[in-house]
Structure 1
Amino acid sequence: MKFHLLGDKTKIEIDILSREYPNSFDYWDGNWLVSNVKIEIPGYYVDFNASLRTDDIRDFVNELKLMNRNLSGKAILKNLDSFIHFECEIDRLGQIDWSGETCYPAGSGAVLNFTFISNQSYLHDLIKELEDIIHAFPVIGNP
């Protein structure tokens, strides 16, 4: 299952492959997901595997929904292991300013920082993709 962050000359595709610990029902272990991150921006192509968490994806989609409804605010997709960090902020005209950072290998590898612009028209599909992922990989347990 994939979700996409799209913008001016930018394509980010994150493919959620499976739970990292499929037999765990513990909040801390059971919510890790195996994913593949692909980023295409002018001059760079990034492709690596990363561990993400269902609760981070859930929080991100909830922030995107508020941002889309109010035409204001921010949404952040962060990662405990620092593989990825994406932030976006929308203005009243529907323009979305994104900033992104990737690090691979996590914590000690090459770091890529970049920005791009998109608009509100991309949010509907992104929110739907993320909701489908949360439906397939719901958050397990409580902290």
Structure 2
Amino acid sequence: MRLTGDLGKLEISVLRRSNSETDDYWDGNWLESQIKIDVQGIHTLYGTNLRVDDLQRFYKSLTALQNDTTKESEFTTMEEGLYLHFQVESNGSVNCKGKANTDSGDSLEFKFQTDLATLDRFVGELETTLESYPLVGSLE
């Protein structure tokens, strides 16, 4: 999943399920992921685990943003490896700000601006990722 803008780029690559041998809701929905951030002379690449259910909530939030149901969307993760906030401005530009957190406690706050067409591509890539990594198990 790639989101590019005037002064930045965010890439989220899901590499594999962390526990592919189980269909347990809590253990089977972790995804080993790689995050790449390029903003105004800062380039970082780090690994973090994301959850399928976090990505599903993010997808629903972004589609509400696309449908003009809301002007803001937020992505939070259980282990706080990545935080994202999107806000659509009246001129159609999209402000993206975020915070990357590593397991060692280091963090990077970043921001850049993109547009709705680029956001649409990102949402499509997120949908494809969710099709490749469906939620397993249930809370019940």
Fold-level match, TM-score > 0.5?
yes
Is the contact made by 1:26 and 1:140 (CA closer than 8 Å) also made in structure 2? yes
Could you tell me how far apart the structure 1 residues matched to 2:30 and 2:60 are? 19
Distance 2:47 2:107 in 1: 15
Partner in structure 1 of residue 48 of structure 2: 50
> Structure 2 unaligned runs (5+)?
none
Moved over 6 A (4+): none
Following superposition, the deviation at residue 136 of structure 1 comes to 0.5
Q: Tell me the SS of whatever aligns to 1:92.
A: coil
Answer with 24-33 or 88-97: which moved more.
Answer: 88-97
Structure 1 partner of 2:135: 139
Question: 1:74, 1:24 → 2: CA distance?
Answer: 35
Question: 1:22 & 1:67 partners in 2: Cα distance?
Answer: 32
2:10 is aligned to: 12
- 50, 61, 64: which one pairs with 1:63? 61
Structure 1 segment 74-85 matched on structure 2, within 5 A: 74-85=72-83
**What percentage of residue pairs aligned between the two structures are identical?**
28
Normalising by structure 2, we get a TM-score of: 0.92
Aligned-CA RMSD value: 1.4
Between the two proteins, the alignment pairs up a number of residues equal to 139
| Residue from 101, 120, 127 that aligns with 1:124 | 120
Task: Look up the match of 2:38.
Answer: 40
Contact 2:8-2:111 within 8 A present in 1 as well: no
Q: Gapped runs of 5+ residues in structure 1?
A: none
Cα shift readout 1:36-64 (whole Å, capped 9, x = no counterpart): 11111112111111100111111111111
